[in-house]
Structure 1
Amino acid sequence: MTATVAIGEFARLTHLSVKTLRYYHEIELLEPVAVDAGTGYRRYSTDQVETAHLIRRLRDLDMPLPQIRTVLAAADPADRDATLRAHLTRMEAELQRTREVVASLRALLTAPAPPLRVDYRVEPAFTALTRTERVERGAIAQWCGVAFEQLYVSLLGAGVTPGGVAGATYSTEFFAEHTGTVTAYVPLPPGAELTPPDGLAITEFPARRFAVAVHTGAFEDFDRTYGALGSHVAEHDTVLPDEPVRERYLVGPDLTDNPADYRTEVCWPITEGESR
């Protein structure tokens, strides 16, 4: 048997505050079955209790209200479940990132950084298929995933084998302003003929001298490698002005499922000549 109850009683049944219930009414997420025209008092059906419980649990999982609306509106259980699975996947990724940040913080507080090996080399000029955009720092992982997929798919479609290790260059502005120019690249083999699709380009990279260090492990500790290498360069070398830092992805997510196995070369551009 279905009954209706006042908003205060419904709050007790659902553990949602009266203030929250009024807000959900205003945004049309959970509307009362009746509103007294004279007093404005709201009444809810006991049939709505289960829906209210679902909303509260989804909010406890930090699901945004628009997504909760999608879940409630889904007539097909498969559509509803797909939305819930996608949110849980995002939460699991955030939880993993939190674990990595905690581990990185513990290491920073308890373990000194291991000595950094710095090598010097002149990287020869090369030609690459590239994608260049202004990217926000917080979106760089997602952007790189899309950019490199596009680059490799374009090469595969043209029957061209990559001519070397893929990488990316990062402008000084990217670090200073947290938004700046990033170029993802995949080197082309000598003599390759390729017409780049929209959004991509063929770019000539000139020869450059670099101080190079290898970062191994999760990206949460990337700043420590940057700090150590950049400090070494400041103390022993002369930075090449206005030249972006280059990263070369020796081992990445496409080759291993374990972030501890990632290996990235960080290449700091320096002037020609002997190190100080």
Structure 2
Amino acid sequence: MNDLLSISAFSRATLISANTLRSYHESGLLPPAVVDPRTGYRGYRASQLGDAAVIRHLRALDVPLVSIREVLAARDPAVTRRVLAEHHERTLAQRARTEQILRVTGELLADPAAVTPAVVTERTIPPVRVFTMVRDVREDQFAGFLGEAYPSLYASIADAGAVVSGPPGALYPAEYHDEPVPVVAYVPAEKGGDHLAGGRFAVAEFTGPYRSISAGYRALGAWMAGTDLAIAGPVRENYLTGPGDEVPESDYRTQICWPVQHSEE
């Protein structure tokens, strides 16, 4: 084994710790040239120093091990460029995500209401006349649909000679779904063409940006867990203060209403 470097010498030559070299061996990324079956001695050839340098350089850039393995296996500049381009795009996406996290946590530091459990009350809400628009949409399409629906609904109310009688809102299925679901956008108005049923509701008023509204839903879920109640139909959100009110997102106010009934009803 005189032509081999021991793991300690190879570690010093490559500036990669022995423990990391053992890990690279186990993962198949940089196996030693020989392993003594009796002693477990690992020996590395000088020709492996180049691969070790590539690995060290790419790991310093957080390139995944699977991608580094592809670079070493191909030994092709075109493959290396593609792998680095893919990693560059992933890093840009991670940076955008990190910047979003920093922005949102900064907002929460200034006003932590969005992550403070909302107060839940049980109340009776009377029926109301509304103008409505319905569309099957996914969650990531809710905002776009509502942004289109409300101007149209307000125009319909004006055309009908009616008067708006409350904040806009929307009805969502009682159960959450990943696929498109029917969402009903509504605006209360005298002489409305549709009837929005009243009844008993668990109500939470959430303050904060819509992207954090799940905190309001968690508060309702935690409240319901201590009762014998069940959701009795589509849940509704009433947008008390929102984009059209010229206030920061942190001041948006949304009333979340779950229709409830006793489980045995």
Q: TM-score, normalised by structure 2?
A: 0.56
- Distance in 1 (alpha carbons) for counterparts of 2:154 and 2:170: 14
AA partner of residue 143 (structure 1): F
* Cα deviation code 1:69-115 (max 9, x no counterpart): xxxxxxxxxxxxxxxxxxxxxxx9x99966555558989xx999434
**How has the CA–CA distance of structure 1 residues 115 and 136 changed in structure 2, closer, same or farther, with 3 Å as cutoff?**
closer
Aligned to 1:133: 135
Contact preservation (8 Å) 2:134, 2:184: yes
* Cα deviation code 1:136-158 (max 9, x no counterpart): 11111111110111111221233
Selected match of 1:119 from 109, 118, 121: 121
Aligned to 2:244: 254
Query: Which piece of structure 1 moves more, 113-122 or 222-231?
Result: 113-122
Q: Are 2:213 and 1:212 aligned?
A: no
What CA RMSD, in Å, does the superposition of the two structures yield over aligned residues? 3.8
Contact preservation (8 Å) 1:155, 1:162: yes
Query: Which piece of structure 1 moves more, 151-160 or 132-141?
Result: 151-160
Contact preservation (8 Å) 1:256, 1:262: no
- Where structure 1 has 5 or more consecutive residues not aligned to the other structure, the ranges are 1-16, 20-58, 63-91, 193-201
Query: How far off is 1:159 after superposition?
Result: 2.8
**How has the CA–CA distance of structure 1 residues 105 and 166 changed in structure 2, closer, same or farther, with 3 Å as cutoff?**
closer
Aligned to 2:227: 236
- Where structure 2 has 5 or more consecutive residues not aligned to the other structure, the ranges are 1-76, 80-88
Contact preservation (8 Å) 2:120, 2:202: yes
AA partner of residue 220 (structure 2): L
Selected match of 2:161 from 159, 162, 167: 159
Give the match's secondary structure for 2:150. Answer: helix
1:1-276 alignment to 2 at 5 Å? 100-101=103-104, 103=106, 113-173=115-175, 175-189=176-190, 191=191, 202-241=193-232, 243-271=233-261
Query: How far off is 1:258 after superposition?
Result: 0.7
**Which protein has the larger Cα radius of gyration, Structure 1 or Structure 2?**
2
Identity %: 33
Give the match's secondary structure for 1:239. Answer: strand
Give the match's secondary structure for 1:230. Answer: helix
**How has the CA–CA distance of structure 1 residues 111 and 141 changed in structure 2, closer, same or farther, with 3 Å as cutoff?**
closer
- Distance in 2 (alpha carbons) for counterparts of 1:140 and 1:111: 23
- Distance in 1 (alpha carbons) for counterparts of 2:178 and 2:116: 29
**How has the CA–CA distance of structure 1 residues 207 and 265 changed in structure 2, closer, same or farther, with 3 Å as cutoff?**
same
Number of positions where the alignment pairs a residue of Structure 1 with one of Structure 2: 176
* Cα deviation code 1:117-148 (max 9, x no counterpart): 11121111122100011111111111111011
AA partner of residue 235 (structure 2): V
AA partner of residue 120 (structure 2): V
AA partner of residue 205 (structure 1): L
Query: How far off is 1:222 after superposition?
Result: 0.8
Q: TM-score, normalised by structure 1?
A: 0.54
